[in-house]
Structure 1
Amino acid sequence: MDKFNLSRRESLGLAAFATGMAAVPGVASARSKKPAVDFVTDIDFKDPKWTRDTYARIDGDIDPTKEKCGWIKGKAMGVRPNEKIRTLFGVEGFSFVRMKKLEDGSYRRMLREIVFYTDLETGEVMDKWHNPYTDETVKVVPIANDPFNFTISEYAPEGPSYGGLNTDLREREPFLQDWEYGPNGTMILNTGIDLMYPNALQPSQWPRESAGAMNRVSEHFIYVVEKADVENPELTHIPHIGSWSRITPWLPWMLMGQAEGHISYFTHFQTIPEGVAGLPAHLVKAARDMDEKWLSAPTEDYGPSLSSLEVYAREQTPAPVPEGWEPPKAPPAPAGFPPRKD
């Protein structure tokens, strides 16, 4: 597992990134082959078609005969008033993406992803977890989205609909992203989305799982790539490393109800050019034990594309409510400090 432990500096791509990515297996061979599709390589931050093609090459491999494997690892923390932030469990998983080019030049991105929650001490995948806020042991439910598809075009995406629950969709506008040049021949992309939409787990039906009638979510990514890779007309996938953060309500399987507080994810991610062979063995086993399908990308477009909460609502059942149960309470506010005497 040591080969998957990136330092903070490495995860931000600020230390000899160009040298490191040149040594990634598969990159050199990819550069020696003529690509199966055409794409824009002349860097222009104000060109929606360059943005479309570059983001598609990062998010997947625009050669439809190939699939891209991505790996993610980090931690999830509990945040409540009047106490320090508490690291609760590890987060580790992977995804497989396939790209299909459409007639108008857009790309249909087809993805399967699975993310497990892991023990902080051993790193092993958990099926049960002791909740320190409620002092009870709960069943752990991984993130398992099949599929999560969307179209990458020269127009900005409307944002996920989450099965029709999110109606706050963006107006059609050119697809431009927040790019900047970094040190050592790198480029840095910042993306993110902030949402508030109706919860698929309404408190009336899911009193222990639901954090409330609405979901407030903030999700942000940082990608670091080589400028030379972006400009390379033979490279259909752009290798990258980066970070993902997410602020989200308590996870439903924690059985926190409408307790004050939320979960904060902080992770790093990267391309795994070797695919399944390059993933940690314990993750591959855990995914295979669920279904072999998690070890490859979809070959066809299908749906609906749902978030983990919508999947939870479809696949799980509400937990029993013990007599007299109420959501755990955060500690009281500390007493105020006495006024200073000058």
Structure 2
Amino acid sequence: MRLSKLFRYITSAAIISSASAVTASFAATPDFRNPADSSAAFLRLRCSLDPHDQKYSAWTATVYAQVPGQKLKPLLGFEGYNVCRVVKEADGSYKLLTREVSYYRDLKTGKIIEQWDNPYTGKTDDVMHVHNDPVNSAMPAHGSGKYALPWVVMGDEVMLLVDVPLEYPNELSPAKFPEESSGDHYIASEHFGFFAKLADMKNPKLQSVPYVNSWFRTGPWLPWMKMGQRPGGLVYSGEGRKLDSFAELPAEVQAYTRKHFPKFIDAPTEFVSPNETTWSVYRDMKNAQATGTPANPPATTKP
């Protein structure tokens, strides 16, 4: 779930408010729709404004194949989480520090898998689970930017629905990675729906607001599937919620993380860049294998 793309998108010109600025502070203004307080309002929902508190955005989804002229075909289960913490800077801006893992499951057994029988190529692929670190975001201070989020209030419920179209140069060039690359450009989309109680969002005493969410994604074949530029791609359909602790995650997710990705139990403590994606992690892994050198460690460039 590419949450870092969501944060960059919601602060972009795509939804910048043309309304006049409202300058009251968040604590004095329980209306979370105040454009001047969008960062704080969103971070209360997404994570927590308490820098000593970390939250877990957990999800479960089904991955479908979308082939032109055919109905969607369920391929894999997909379950994981993003662990986050928020740091407020001296200038009033925020840093959202996160990392995320997500594991592919067999749809029949429900078990996390290490290999997958590809129904389109007839080959058995080694599965590369999602393990992206960092997945960080910066958000502006109170009163700066004044971007309006598309909140929808229905009765005693609040919805935040955001669609994120994506297009940028592919980390895996088709010339160097003909089996893994979908083309010169990475083209995908992410669609988020966050749902919370109106009373919670209007309560300025809450540093963190509970939510449940929906998530929908379209994207290319995964690099480890080695489908190249074969027509079609993947559709992800899932749901999730905010959790207060690692212990609330499914037992198998906890055990697999402790064994294979123990640092993903906790959120990062400092902001570094650039962010990682499945495509960049795969590229670094393959380059390391080709040169016989260890893969690059997570990014360490500070702003």
TM-score clears 0.5: yes
Q: 1:98 pairs with 66, 70, 85, which one?
A: 85
For residue 43 of structure 1, what is the amino acid of its counterpart?
A: D
**Cα gap change, 1:155/1:127 in structure 2, threshold over 3 Å: closer, same or farther?**
farther
Deviation, structure 1 residue 309: 1.1
Distance 2:138 2:53 in 1: 18
CA contact (8 A) 1:220 1:245 kept: yes
Distance 1:312 1:71 in 2: 23
Aligned runs of 1:133-152 on 2, under 5 Å?
133-152=120-139
CA contact (8 A) 2:93 2:142 kept: no
Is 1:188 the counterpart of 2:159? The answer is yes
Per the normalisation by structure 1, the TM-score is 0.74
Paired position in structure 2 for 1:48: 35
Distance 2:69 2:141 in 1: 46
Query: RMSD between aligned alpha carbons?
Result: 2.2
CA contact (8 A) 1:71 1:279 kept: yes
Deviation, structure 1 residue 202: 0.5
1:15-55 deviation line (CA, Å, top 9, x unaligned):
xxxxxxxxxxxxxxxxxxxxxx974652153x323221110
**Cα gap change, 1:108/1:209 in structure 2, threshold over 3 Å: closer, same or farther?**
same
Q: Which structure has the larger Rg over C-alpha atoms? A: 1
CA contact (8 A) 1:40 1:49 kept: no
**Cα gap change, 1:155/1:197 in structure 2, threshold over 3 Å: closer, same or farther?**
farther
Deviation, structure 1 residue 174: 3.2
Q: 1:213 pairs with 176, 184, 187, which one?
A: 184
CA contact (8 A) 1:196 1:214 kept: yes
Deviation, structure 1 residue 155: 8.9
Paired position in structure 1 for 2:265: 295
- Percent of matched pairs sharing the same residue: 32
Paired position in structure 2 for 1:309: 279
1:115-167 deviation line (CA, Å, top 9, x unaligned):
111110121111100110111110111111111101122599xxxxxxxxxxx
Q: 1:126 pairs with 113, 118, 125, which one?
A: 113
CA contact (8 A) 1:201 1:209 kept: yes
Paired position in structure 1 for 2:17: none
Deviation, structure 1 residue 290: 1.4
Is 1:176 the counterpart of 2:148? The answer is yes
Report the count of equivalent residues: 266
Paired position in structure 1 for 2:239: 268
Paired position in structure 2 for 1:332: none
Deviation, structure 1 residue 98: 0.7
CA contact (8 A) 1:90 1:119 kept: yes
Distance 2:27 2:92 in 1: 9
Q: 1:70 pairs with 33, 45, 57, which one?
A: 57
Secondary structure in 1 matching 2:247: helix
CA contact (8 A) 1:48 1:155 kept: no
Secondary structure in 2 matching 1:316: helix
**Cα gap change, 1:250/1:41 in structure 2, threshold over 3 Å: closer, same or farther?**
farther
**Cα gap change, 1:48/1:106 in structure 2, threshold over 3 Å: closer, same or farther?**
farther
Distance 1:245 1:40 in 2: 35
Deviation, structure 1 residue 298: 0.8
Paired position in structure 1 for 2:70: 83
The ranges of structure 1 where at least 4 consecutive aligned residues each deviate by more than 6 angstroms after the TM superposition are none
For residue 311 of structure 1, what is the amino acid of its counterpart?
A: V
Per the normalisation by structure 2, the TM-score is 0.83
Distance 1:39 1:126 in 2: 47
Distance 2:255 2:97 in 1: 23
For residue 177 of structure 1, what is the amino acid of its counterpart?
A: L
Distance 2:111 2:286 in 1: 23
Distance 2:29 2:110 in 1: 40
Q: What stretches of structure 2 of length at least 5 have no aligned partner?
A: 1-24, 291-303
